[in-house]
Amino acid sequence: MTELSDLTAVRLVEGFASGAFSPVEAARAALERIERTEPALNAFVRVDAEEALGRAAESAERWRRGEPAGLVDGVPVSVKDILLQRGAPTFRGSRTVRAEGRSWDEDAPAVARLREHGAVFLGKTTTPEFGWKGVTDSPRHGVTGNPYDPGRTAGGSSGGSAAAVAVGAGPLSLGTDGGGSVRIPAGFCGIFALKPTYGRVPNYPASPFGTLAHVGPMTRDAADAALLMDVITGPDARDWSQLGRVSGTFRDGLGGGVAGLRVAWSPDFGGRVAVDPQVAGAVRRAVERLAELGAHVEEADPGFADPVDAFHTLWFSGVARVVQHLGTEERALLDPGLREVCERGAEYSALDYLAAVDERMALGVAMGRFHERYDLLVTPTLPITAFEAGSEVPRGSGLSRWTGWTPFTYPFNLTQQPAASVPCGRDRDGLPIGVQLVAARHGDALVLRAAHALYEAGVADGVGPPPAVRG
């Protein structure tokens, strides 16, 4: 018998509606899964069982009356500890953030929408300090392990959310993505994640990383992500750059398939990226599955040079701004790697920043033209599988920063395009592999549709539950 904690949000809502089980039972199952897996994973910085069970009981009564509050009434969810959640401190992984003297009485827009729709909040999930890197460890909360091997990294910076979803500690989680931060951990942990078009999901307070930073769903599959997108998108007056409402719902066209789509497959960005052969093989099989489903697949490279220097200028300037107010004693509390990039970021001039913006705009133009020819671009999510936890880069790699092993993710934060990671296999060590789907700006529904087609075709079937769940 399938445990409630292993069900998707879609199936949970169906069960609540039919009376097969209740939100209280679902919340208890998720909390039990947290208790079972948390010692090995460290995915949560805070779990509030009392609040979760209280909200679940209120939801059960609404379902009993036939009056659910919204689309995810009673569904257990978690929130990355970068986003504000009313009644809970948001430490952002930093020892420099104090809980005292603040009321913590406001929700971020996506959190507010979940609350309005009756979601059951389980707790806040781990992040590296201020979400600055592609793995999840911080001086305040320690290291988050991978559900498939706790000695490996969960990825980051939304690693806690990815680990939580992977082990069934709630089927839905909110993450943030400024350079791959929902897609990287999704790829490493064998779940689905979407970085929406910038502004599609409102954000507040505004990120110091500016228009690189997106809020996105981290879920069991694409259908759950579409459901969550229908909850968290739409206008919020606190975000001056939000895109407003979409016509219809993200669930409407989910079953449209991929027949006739023009798909560009770039296995290694034109030979520029060294991809592990096991990763390349799994991604190739996923691409072949798209062709079998009727997509017109062509190997094609988008043709841009690595924009890492421009990304670093924007990213490091952002983190330098985050800590600008800190004194010497507080700076000593920071992650040493964060201190290094903050010092570098503080050295950039306004002209350096604007030159990076120019490069970013040129990349956006190039990708806009590319998508006149192709509906989707497909790449590996990552060129490698999860490496040792607690390190920013794989040991012995010769790399200095996390961007060295994430070449497929950060370019699409620069261009603001929607991009998703879909699990498509495992390596010989049993570690998940992800395939990335990218569409033109505002093509979020298309990415979800193609991802759903891959799920329906069984592309993720070989990934299976992590050992932390299998027991």
Q: How far is CA 8 from the centre of its chain?
A: 17
C-alpha to C-alpha distance for 144 and 69, rounded to whole angstroms: 34
Residue type at 393 in one-letter notation: V
Q: Which of 22, 138, 157, 207 is catalytic?
A: 157
Per DSSP, 388 falls in state B
Could you confirm whether 138 is annotated as catalytic? no
Kindly name the residue from 80, 124, 133, 195 that is annotated as catalytic: 80
Cβ(290)–Cβ(395) below 8 Å: no
Q: What are the structure tokens assigned to 347, written together?
A: 């050295």
Beta bridge pairs of residue 138: 142
Choose, from 5, 59, 94, 181, the residue flagged as catalytic. 181
The kind and range of the H/E element at 425 are strand 419-426
**Cβ neighbours for 225, distance < 8 A, ≥ 6 positions apart:** 192, 193, 194, 217, 219, 250, 420, 448, 451
CA angle 87, 89, 92 (to 5 degrees): 145
Encoding tokens for residue 297?
Answer: 């697949």
> Could you give the angle at the alpha carbon of 177 between the alpha carbons of 174 and 182, nearest 5°?
60
3-state secondary structure (DSSP) of residue 432:
strand
Distance separating alpha carbons of residues 299 and 287, to the nearest angstrom: 10
Catalytic residues: 80, 157, 181
